[in-house]
Amino acid sequence: MEAAFHDVTAHERLAYQNVVTSRATIHYSELAEHVDRFVSRIAAKGYDPTGPFFYSLNNVPMEELVDIEMFLPIQQHTFHAEEGLVFHSYFEVSPLLRGVVKGDLENQTELVYAHLLATAESNDWQINSPFYHLPQRDVSGYALVFVGYTESGPPADADR
């Protein structure tokens, strides 16, 4: 892999069992409130988070509206259906490029997007997923951003 930027790594993956998700279109300024509400709903029902919270950005924001899907792995193997919440016994996306957003998350995220896209382009890879954000809940002030890709090349059965 030719890395266009030193903070980009390839062949990463997101994989979790027992994941609760919720998708919504919201104003970007409401993201933190929406995340808190999502996590609180799950905890209020007695479910125990076992993995990191993460979300996907499923559109190019227009008029400051974002289409997001939030993900939270839980310890329990079953989940009682509830409007707006979906349970997946397994969630996996791979391969992924990974970038690290440091410092001013709002402004630096776009730069990391550009680094991820440039790395894919320099390797002739096609982007095949939304951007996934894995914010760190501690005081470190960074977030991981992932995007899926497909390596270009001849089909697997081309030499038959």
Residue among 21, 7, 123, 27 nearest 79 (CA): 21
In a domain, 90, yes or no: yes
In a domain, 43, yes or no: yes
| pLDDT for residue 44 is more than 60 | yes
Helix (H) or strand (E) holding 16: strand 9-27
In a domain, 157, yes or no: no
In a domain, 97, yes or no: yes
Number of domain units in the chain: 1
**What would the mean pLDDT of 26-48 be, rounded to a whole number?**
94
CATH number at residue 141: 3.20.80.10
What's the domain range around 110?
9-151
pLDDT digits (tens, 9 = 90+) for 64-111: 899 999 999 999 999 998 999 999 999 999 999 999 998 877 788 889
Name the band, by pLDDT with cuts 50, 70 and 90, for residue 51: very high
| pLDDT for residue 119 is more than 90 | yes
Residue among 109, 127, 106 nearest 118 (CA): 127
Amino acid identity, residue 24?
Answer: A
Q: In angstroms, rounded to a whole number, what is the distance separating the alpha carbons of residues 43 and 60?
A: 31
In a domain, 48, yes or no: yes
**What would the mean pLDDT of 132-158 be, rounded to a whole number?**
80
In a domain, 4, yes or no: no
Q: State the average pLDDT for the chain.
A: 90
Residue pair 87/106 in contact by the 8 Å Cβ criterion: no
Q: In angstroms, rounded to a whole number, what is the distance separating the alpha carbons of residues 92 and 74?
A: 15
Name the band, by pLDDT with cuts 50, 70 and 90, for residue 30: very high
Helix locations, 52-129, DSSP H: 105-122
In a domain, 2, yes or no: no
In a domain, 115, yes or no: yes
What pLDDT was estimated at residue 142?
A: 85
Residue among 76, 82, 75, 28 nearest 55 (CA): 28
Q: In angstroms, rounded to a whole number, what is the distance separating the alpha carbons of residues 101 and 89?
A: 29
